[in-house]
Structure 1
Amino acid sequence: MPDWSKWLGEGVTAVTARSLPTLGLRLVISATCAALFTWKIDLVSGLVWGLAVASAEAAVWTASDPQRKARATTLGQRVAYVAAVSWMNLVWWALVLRLWTLDTEAMRLAALCLMSALLVHAQAFTARSTLLLVIIGGGAATLLLSLCAVFNDFPPGQRVVLTAAALMLIAYTSKAAMTNAVQGRALETAKIQAETASQAKSEFLTLMSHELRTPLAGMLGLAQALKLEPLEPSEREQVELLEDQGRALLGLLNDVLDLAKIEAGKLEIAPIPGDLGQLADRVVRLNAPLAREKGSDIVLTIDEALPASLVFDPLRVRQCLANLISNAVKFTPAGQIQVRVSCAPAANGRVMAKVVVADTGVGMNPAVLDKLFAPFTQADASVARRSGGTGLGLNITRRLAQMMDGAVTARSVEGQGSTFTLTFACAPPATEALLPAVDGEGQNPPLRLLVVDDYPINRKVIGMMLTPLGCKVAEAGDGQAALDALRADEFDMVLIDFNMPVMGGLEATRRIRAEAGWKQLPIICLTAGVTDRERDDALQAGMDAFVEKPVELAALVSTIGRFDRRTDPDRR
């Protein structure tokens, strides 16, 4: 008793996926054959055959719907596909028989050509499914042998030669089909192994991202909190440089992670109000010491028409500027680097920002320019040894610019320098305040926040950021402590880490939502990185938003402002 479930397994699905790209060619061939049949053989028979082949193609198209939509197939759907393919082959075999029975040399040669094409199709596309190979290849081989050995009036000697030739064609086709089947299974195994390795790599990167971002979050958060304190100009400059160096370290970590996210289509742009001119100034100041060491100067020019505030993603724009300016510093041993920042009105009320980075460095020849934006690529092998870097910066910069509805272009002359132009779309700044101020009469009481994180420095940093903005901050070290704090006091919002001992943020959120009095309590996840599945689970559990670590003060304040119940009585 044959195991039909095995014969009707996923190999049928693989055959469908491989044959779908040939649909256009099949339709052209079918239409041509129908037209020739109608013209040279018989009008009625040709029309009938044309309708039959059209119905077969329609049946195959309908039965392959799951494959076109990249969905898993059921046993019934695979049976339907096999039935449609069987009908298709019966229609073509009928044409072969009709040509053969015309009893003219040209028509019989045409019939043999069609049979050979059916055998080629069988070995090329059906080798992954034993059932379809038997139906299409076995049926075509049987019909071919029958025509060559039995159903003809050739002399015995010619019949033997013709049959031998047909057997050689069938043997070679069978061997090719077996080879295709073996290679197909090997490719499938390699694909599974690659996907498994990729998943393991992604999990490792996620883990390392979380572990490395945690101390970086504390360092950068403390720097941002210090900037809120009254500082001497020299002290403020030192704090800003500390913050910028931390961001540079974070950038090295982010390059590999960002490339993986971009290629998977999972990196998102998060625009918030910011000062583009100030951001450019800070990136220039970060790179200025190294430029001076190499005998170069960086000159920043900001267009007077540039607004003091625009809505863009400061993290991604900083990443792009840092890549372009640091590259210019690397390849300008002694000279000048000009950074020009400007903007112009764009469609739909937006603003198109433009940053030009021009240097008088070594420049590039056309061959280097052609591969400049490819990942893991540098001008030559000595560049990495001499200047460092991963070869990802420019590739990521171009992709980020495209995600921000902009572009990056480069022009260069070897020995004379290079010019890179970055453009990206911005929106006019919002006019409303991110957090309502606390008024003197107490109509706007302090925003009561519960910060839940197992890392004490992270809790302290959040408190240092938000306390000067009129927030009252309490702390908890894990999910269970957060539940205890909520039962002991009232809070307007919970800022909670995702991964914690005792009880993590996900389980704590589920328990908070299970309490009738806390169903409307805003919960914001502070995370050093979660997977898409974890993010979906968090939203289903009841979390309202995510703020990525290291925490950007503007992003944090903007997110809190969206869920501030003091300004929305209906949410209280």
Structure 2
Amino acid sequence: MILEINQTASRYFEIQNQSEILNLPFSNLLAQDFTHFEYTSRKKKILSGETPSWDLEFKTLRGKKFWGNTSCRMISTHLNKIILVQIKDITEKVNTRKSLLEQAGTIAEHEANLNAIIENSEAMIWSIDKNYKLLIFNSQFQNVMQDFYHSEISTGFNLFQKELPPEIAKYWKEFYDRALSGEKVSVARKRPNQDGTFIFSELSFQPIRNTEYEITGVSAISVDITDKKLAEEKFRLLFERSSEPHVLYDDFGILECNPATLKMLRCSDKKLVLGKHPIHFSVETEKEKTNELESIALEKGSYTFEWVYKRFNDEEFSVEVTLIPIIIHQKRVFLSVWHEITERKVYEDSLKRAKEIAEAASKAKTDFLAMMSHEIRTPLNGVIGTVSLLEGTFLNTEQKEYLDIIKSSGQNLLILLNDILDLSRIESGQLKLEIQPVSPEKLTNEVVNLFRPMAEEKGLVVESEVSFNVPNWIISDPYRLRQVLTNLIGNSIKFTEKGKIHLSVEAEKFPNDKLRLIFHVKDTGIGIAEEKLELLFRAFSQVDSSTTRKYGGSGLGLTISKKLAELMKGEITVKSQVNSGSEFSLSILTEKLEYEIPAGVQELHSKNLATSAVISIQEFQFKEQIKKFCERNGFLVKMARTAKETIRIIGEEERIGVFLTDLNFPDMNLSEMLNELKKQNPSLKLTVILFMEKELKDSYYLVTNSLFNRPGFQIFMMFKPILLEELSKNFEKAFPIKVLKKQNENKKFLSEKIPLQILLVEDNVINQKIALRLLTKLGYNADSALNGLEGIEKLKTKNYDLIFMDIQMPEIDGYETTFQIRKDFGKSKPVIVAMTANAMEGDREKCLEAGMNAYISKPIQIQDIESTIVLLFQS
């Protein structure tokens, strides 16, 4: 009986009031009669849970007929079973089909085309009548079925007249009968192959109708899906057996998951998981976030991200999710693969915490060092400043000796403090190189000059040698390079009792236009045993305790030097032999710089000067060094091996201005050569520079004394080892140039040259007195303030040109004081110079960012104040 009908069905059957049809048998609506067997078998299929569909002809309550595609589904309630019937009007479709069948000629043509398509198809295609006899079939079907029947098949062949394999006979008969009853059947099945394997096929059976729409037979098609099935099977096996959770889901929830998923979720029943969306198990409950991740996966083909899910026991766990969009049965779904990373996340979190603890410890260490640096520098400023003031007073010999001890101890303490700070900066990664142009030759000469007095006090010789392949300019950090060389040469002098220290520089080409510069510091000192070399570069360590007692030192110098070398992309190596000396080699990676020779050096060869120089030196390296110097300063160089050759060159050249020689002529002495030159050219004017061995100084004076009064000759004598800076001075004397002449400064005080109104803001009374006294020595009568507020008040009553500003002060610190001054009195004036014990990395930059113009770190020395004033106010 009909229990309920919707509006669409009411329209189909022309029902004006539902009471017209309710409780009537469904068969009353059918326009065609069914046998009892047909009706019963169809009802049985529906009640078994199948959802069959048929094309049926219906009649309305007003007698009108129409065709409908009908599908039926059983719904069970707690009281009884109900059949839900869905009807779709296909009248137009059926009528069109009938119309086409009536067009015989066209159909024949189409039939030929259709036969060609059928024959060429890779699928098995065939049709049978109601008696299971073949009507149409293609060669694919024929080949397979002849193998089964072991006989020829042709049109009219009854498929069931011979026994088929049970796997085929079982379901073919059923599918044929269902199609003959008007049902469309689509299934996937496997059938045996002759070689014992199985072939998977998708089969489709449809009823064939005549012009009266009566069923006359069945058409069938079988498509080989073995490869697809095998791929699906492989996927299934991988899916099921994978140790990683695999989840298949669509918009409505999880379709399938493997055992690994259940294990990770701590779930024993798959039913509790299926149908739920993965977001259900997620700590992240924002659906929009999931949609965003799915969109990225669709765009890229796959997407991997981290997510946090929750197990059935409410325990949270972290996973790395790989999301892959795939198509299954023409439907887009997502495959989500989980890789648990909970342990990794715990480890990462522990690393993060350890890093934060380490950073906090490093910051605490840095803060402690900064505080200690400030606290030590403040009294140290008083000690060194007072010493500086006492040096300008009248002292007896004993007092001067005590003062030297205090000064030396203070300087050593400052060096140690700076070394500790440097080591701390390097270890914390805060020390940065300041890359700028550097002249290796000039740097080498400066370092050697610095240590020459100290070496001569011990009776040692310090000499330098720059290889001819070393470029004029490189790019590096001159301060740090000088720091390392100073440490190496200082150590050599300290541990050498007799002999010499030799500093040499050479260059090696390196790939990509780079250059490796190598500095060698070789001495004739006490040497180091091979087994103790590894102790050299350890912080606060020396080769043995007796070394510390005898020579002193903190053991930090080489440690810092090694780390600085590594910062400059180089290294320090050492070769040593006990009682024979050591050789330390510093290599750095740099590059040649095409850089202008500084003004002043260029002035050595103006248009008014002679432009040629003759060199007659026998020793090759020394000769190349002097030649290189002359060429750098603009001279055209001529080389001579003998006195006669020298006379010839000077006679032929018109603009020879200087002759450089070591007196080693094989054919005549210098006096004879000069006489010959004068004889050839009485008006000759020539500068002669003689290079002599220092040990033969007295005898050379006796031999060459008569040379100095010769008219037309200007003779300079230099003793080896030759410093190029001294050679430059002799050139300046030989060729006086106005731009190089220094005016004599007759003024006594810097204050007379640069008059300034100065204010000192310093809270430490001792440091205030020291700084005021140092300023007095420069001629300045400075005012003072004990804190920032007092300093600001003084600015309101007097215009100051320069303020020396301490940083750590009560009330307001130096930074805040500077901010207020710049705010109230302008950015340009007064000039503010930080004078502080803050000497850590970044303190200088912090002062400049606060609005200060310059920075001096304590302990303050008079040279620092003087050079800062000159730098800021010279113009």
Gap change, CA 1:452 and 1:233, over 3 Å in 2 = same
Aligned counterpart, 1:265 = 430
Aligned counterpart, 1:550 = 859
Matching residue's letter, 1:266: L
Q: Which structure 2 residues correspond to residues 23-62 of structure 1 after superposition, within 5 A? A: none
Matching residue's letter, 1:457: I
- Larger C-alpha radius of gyration, 1 or 2? 2
Cα pair 1:298 1:339 within 8 Å, conserved:
no
Of 563, 575, 578, 1:411 maps to 575
Aligned counterpart, 2:353 = 189
CA distance in 1, matches of 2:396, 2:585: 36
Cα pair 1:453 1:477 within 8 Å, conserved:
yes
Cα pair 1:341 1:354 within 8 Å, conserved:
yes
Q: Which structure 2 residues correspond to residues 282-293 of structure 1 after superposition, within 5 A? A: none
Of 822, 826, 831, 1:513 maps to 822
Matching residue's letter, 2:308: T
Matching residue's letter, 2:850: A
Of 452, 458, 469, 2:778 maps to 469
Higher relative contact order (CA 8 A, sep 6+): 1
CA distance in 2, matches of 1:439, 1:328: 38
CA distance in 1, matches of 2:492, 2:307: 53
CA distance in 1, matches of 2:461, 2:831: 43
Cα pair 2:503 2:519 within 8 Å, conserved:
yes
Gap change, CA 1:387 and 1:111, over 3 Å in 2 = farther
Q: Deviations over 1:105-129 (max 9, x none)?
A: 99879978x978999xxx9xx9985
Uncovered stretches (5+) of structure 1, i.e. residues with no partner: 1-99, 147-168, 289-296, 306-311, 347-351
Of 771, 784, 789, 1:480 maps to 789
TM-score, normalised by the number of residues in structure 1: 0.55
CA distance in 2, matches of 1:281, 1:239: 23
TM-superposed CA distance for 1:528, in Å, is 1.1
Uncovered stretches (5+) of structure 2, i.e. residues with no partner: 1-226, 247-263, 265-303, 311-316, 329-336, 467-476, 509-516, 591-596, 601-739
1:356 aligns with 2:542: no
Gap change, CA 1:315 and 1:135, over 3 Å in 2 = closer
Cα pair 1:328 1:357 within 8 Å, conserved:
no
Of 454, 462, 475, 1:301 maps to 462
RMSD of aligned Cα (Å): 5.6
TM-superposed CA distance for 1:225, in Å, is 3.9
Query: Secondary structure at the residue paired with 1:500?
Result: coil
Aligned counterpart, 2:450 = 279
CA distance in 1, matches of 2:485, 2:848: 31
TM-superposed CA distance for 1:560, in Å, is 2.1
Gap change, CA 1:528 and 1:340, over 3 Å in 2 = farther
Query: Secondary structure at the residue paired with 2:521?
Result: strand
Gap change, CA 1:537 and 1:303, over 3 Å in 2 = closer
Of 219, 222, 230, 1:103 maps to 230
Matching residue's letter, 1:452: V
Of 130, 145, 153, 2:308 maps to 130
Cα pair 1:493 1:521 within 8 Å, conserved:
yes
Gap change, CA 1:381 and 1:189, over 3 Å in 2 = farther
Cα pair 2:318 2:345 within 8 Å, conserved:
no
Of 215, 225, 244, 2:379 maps to 215
Matching residue's letter, 2:804: L
Q: Which structure 2 residues correspond to residues 514-529 of structure 1 after superposition, within 5 A? A: 514-516=823-825, 519-529=828-838
Aligned counterpart, 1:245 = 409
Aligned counterpart, 1:493 = 802
Of 441, 445, 448, 2:757 maps to 448
TM-superposed CA distance for 1:400, in Å, is 4.3
Q: Deviations over 1:418-452 (max 9, x none)?
A: 22356899x9799899xx98599x98452332222
Matching residue's letter, 2:768: R
CA distance in 2, matches of 1:531, 1:371: 28
Q: Deviations over 1:255-296 (max 9, x none)?
A: 2211121342335669999964563256669xx8xxxxxxxx
1:203 aligns with 2:374: no
Of 289, 307, 321, 2:486 maps to 321
CA distance in 1, matches of 2:487, 2:402: 19
Gap change, CA 1:214 and 1:363, over 3 Å in 2 = same
Cα pair 2:494 2:551 within 8 Å, conserved:
no
Cα pair 1:214 1:528 within 8 Å, conserved:
yes
TM-superposed CA distance for 1:210, in Å, is 0.4
Matching residue's letter, 2:813: G
CA distance in 2, matches of 1:372, 1:445: 49
Cα pair 1:409 1:420 within 8 Å, conserved:
yes
User: More displaced, 217-226 or 490-499?
Assistant: 217-226
Cα pair 1:451 1:496 within 8 Å, conserved:
yes
Cα pair 2:430 2:841 within 8 Å, conserved:
no
CA distance in 1, matches of 2:422, 2:490: 19
Matching residue's letter, 2:230: D
Q: Deviations over 1:325-372 (max 9, x none)?
A: 358746x7xx547444688999xxxxx99683524324232x654674
1:397 aligns with 2:561: yes
Q: Deviations over 1:128-187 (max 9, x none)?
A: 8537986644869x99xx9xxxxxxxxxxxxxxxxxxxxxx99xx74xx33323222222
**Which one has the bigger strand percentage?**
2
TM-superposed CA distance for 1:496, in Å, is 1.0
TM-superposed CA distance for 1:511, in Å, is 2.0
Query: Secondary structure at the residue paired with 1:515?
Result: helix
TM-superposed CA distance for 1:101, in Å, is 5.1
Gap change, CA 1:512 and 1:139, over 3 Å in 2 = closer
**Which one has the bigger helix percentage?**
1
Gap change, CA 1:269 and 1:548, over 3 Å in 2 = farther
Identity %: 27
CA distance in 2, matches of 1:127, 1:381: 59
